[in-house]
């Protein structure tokens, strides 16, 4: 049975993107076939559609690093037709056909059973961004952070990871400081639960190796000078999670926050995270994420609108989460 998909190609004309009709046998190998209901657009998806450099490892490819839907057929012991599932990472949308299609076929070991409290639309709204935010929150908690520890900073707060991190931390009782370069988003961030808004300019330029101790923990999807300044402003014994590189992959700082204040820097990997941690993250998202706030940060588009959204997400013009209804 044929279905619609977005596919990227590379030929003598270079990298190009088309909306095509595929047959199931054209998909990559796997032991579970899923009727995709929703996907979402992430920064990495924007790169895959724009030029593919550093993201797309094989052509032709269906991009989309996330999807949620219903199992159609399965040769995997853990899944049966009718099961609701979600997938994030594992190279899907990079080296294996992904979620920008009405069907997907993947190894069952990559799929997470969807908690009953979440719909497939909500799972796509969470996506890699929200799942990464939850992994960051779990890491902060495992390091001992509690609401009594002090303020928690979230950088890139109006983006996908940042929006969910703000909502989660606020719901869990933390006083959240949100950093953004878009002043117009202040009301949006306060509505998500931020208690204080700071301009990203305070953090984006080269700064001092150590600054005033301002926050007990932080979630940083930005990297570069921003992460260095976040570390410099972290209180003694505090913890910072690094989960992105929106400003850059470099870390142009010093070891002083680590050896003078005992600050801990934890790297967050969402692509190859162990399954038990994925399941834990989704169980906590189902319990701790305010789904009303998730809805407020979510925009839904159809498959044909994805290339435009991808361009805008690379330009920093997209706030919150963009869900793709692949059947619209």
- The pLDDT score that the predictor gives to residue 316 is 85
- The pLDDT score that the predictor gives to residue 7 is 97
CATH of 3-114+297-325, one of 3.90.550.10, 3.90.180.10, 3.40.50.2300, 3.40.50.300: 3.90.180.10
Calculate the alpha carbon distances from 63 to 50, 52, 96, 189, 298 in Å: 11, 10, 8, 30, 20
- The pLDDT score that the predictor gives to residue 1 is 83
Short-list 132, 186, 118, 194, CA closest to 160: 132
Calculate the alpha carbon distances from 315 to 43, 113, 309 in Å: 10, 34, 10
How much of the chain, in percent, has pLDDT values that exceed 90? Answer: 95
Phi, then psi, of 62 in degrees rounded to 5: -90, 115
For the chain, first and last CA: distance in Å?
Answer: 18
Phi, then psi, of 74 in degrees rounded to 5: -150, 135
Please tell me the distance from the alpha carbon of residue 22 to that of residue 16, in angstroms, as a whole number.
Answer: 17
Q: Kindly report the CATH number that applies to the domain delimited by 128-267.
A: 3.40.50.720
- Radius of gyration of the chain from its Cα atoms, rounded to whole angstroms: 20
Contacts of 187 (CB under 8 A, 6+ apart): none
Give the chain's length.
328
For the chain, list residues with pLDDT below 50. none
Domain boundaries, the chain: 3-114+297-325, 128-267
């Amino acid at each position: 049975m044929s279905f619609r998909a977005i596919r990227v190609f590379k030929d003598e004309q270079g990298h190009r993107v088309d909306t095509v009709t595929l047959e199931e046998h054209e998909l990559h190998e796997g032991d579970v076939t899923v009727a995709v209901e929703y996907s979402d657009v992430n920064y990495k998806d924007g790169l895959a559609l724009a030029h593919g450099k550093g993201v797309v490892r094989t052509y032709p490819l269906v991009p989309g690093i996330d999807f949620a839907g219903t199992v159609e057929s399965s040769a995997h012991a853990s899944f049966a037709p009718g099961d609701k599932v979600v997938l994030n990472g594992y190279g899907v949308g990079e080296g294996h056909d992904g979620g920008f299609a009405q069907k997907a076929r993947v190894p069952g070991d990559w799929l997470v059973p969807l908690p009953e409290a979440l719909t497939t639309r909500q799972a796509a709204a969470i996506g890699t961004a929200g799942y990464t935010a939850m992994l960051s929150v779990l890491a902060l908690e495992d390091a001992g952070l509690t609401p009594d520890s002090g303020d928690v900073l979230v950088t890139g707060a109006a983006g996908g990871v940042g929006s969910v991190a703000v909502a989660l931390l606020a719901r869990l009782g933390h006083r959240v400081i949100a950093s953004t370069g878009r002043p117009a988003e202040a009301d949006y961030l306060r509505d998500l639960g931020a208690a204080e808004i700071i301009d990203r300019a305070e953090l984006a330029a080269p700064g001092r190796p150590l600054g005033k101790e301002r926050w007990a923990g932080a979630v940083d999807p930005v990297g570069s000078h921003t992460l260095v300044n976040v570390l410099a402003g972290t209180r003694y014994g505090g913890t910072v999670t690094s989960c992105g590189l929106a400003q850059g992959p470099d870390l142009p700082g010093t070891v002083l926050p680590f050896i003078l204040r005992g600050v801990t820097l934890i790297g967050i990997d969402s692509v190859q995270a162990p399954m038990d941690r994925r399941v834990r993250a989704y169980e906590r998202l189902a319990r701790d994420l305010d789904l009303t706030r998730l809805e407020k940060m979510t925009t839904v588009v159809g498959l044909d609108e994805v290339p435009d959204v991808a361009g805008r997400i690379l330009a920093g013009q997209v706030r919150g989460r963009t869900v793709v209804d692949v059947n619209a």
